[in-house]
Amino acid sequence: MCARISNLRNTCGLFIHKTPGIKLRKFQNNTAAMSTIEDAKKLAAYQAVDDHVKNDYIIGIGSGSTVVYAVERLAQKVQKEKLSVLCVPTSFQARQLVVKHRLPLTDLDVSPKLDVCIDGADEVDSRLTLIKGGGGCLLQEKIVASCANKLIIIADYTKNSNKLGEQYKKGIPIEVIPMAYTPIQSHLESIYKGQFALRMAVNKAGPVVTDNGNFILDWKEFDQNLDWAKVNQGIMMIPGVVETGLFVKMVERAYFGMPDGSVKVQDA
């Protein structure tokens, strides 16, 4: 296999403002305010790929709208820099993105140890605790992330909050075995405040079915001051719960594309 490149040069022309724990990075050739959230997503994704993808890497490819730009940037680097990489997708959508860009696929059976996983998030708090699973891929996303040496999150500025629930109002997803969703729903409502609603499909009758054949309960109107590590552990102990959309102490770094054309970098 090709030798690893230890220090990839930054090809985007950036300058860095250094502050404790948080960095703001801005494209030198982009002085105007960014016009759309899509621009912010692209900026964060491109910077994360430039910073964390090296030759001979096995990369977890997350799901969601921001990851589209990460795969786009990865394909550019593979073509221009002749990088040798392998991709492990977290969902059917992620796999289709990898196939579309003609990047090589592998899986955890063949490659159980990943160098990095790049994924999006529905919301990120000040401690880099995440809500993920708005697209229903939380189980496979967490499995792939757990196999990576580091999890890197990419998002636009609307996903950056001080506390979970400040901006994202669709709830914390909990993936459950279909036969158990009613008792689980009742049990959760007896322990925690808020609502636990079965996620319903939009273009079909009935509930959303995940890639793993399960249902999702969305926990809405929750207390923002909970200890998320304890909550996650408690929910996972309920028989029939498959996984939660709480990602606690898993993230090494998060990139947020900002309205002014900068990238906010938040470290764990």
| Catalytic (active-site) positions | 141
Letter for the amino acid at 47? Q
Burial category of 152 from C-beta neighbours within 10 Å (exposed 0-12, middle 13-18, buried 19 and up): buried
- The DSSP code for 110 is T
For residues 91 and 141, the answer to whether their CB atoms sit within 8 Å is yes
- Dihedral of the alpha carbons of 61, 64, 67, 72, in degrees to the nearest 10: 100
Q: What are phi and psi of 181, to 5 degrees?
A: -65, -35
| Contacting residues for 261 by C-beta, under 8 A, at least 6 apart | 26, 27, 30, 31, 32, 33, 34, 43
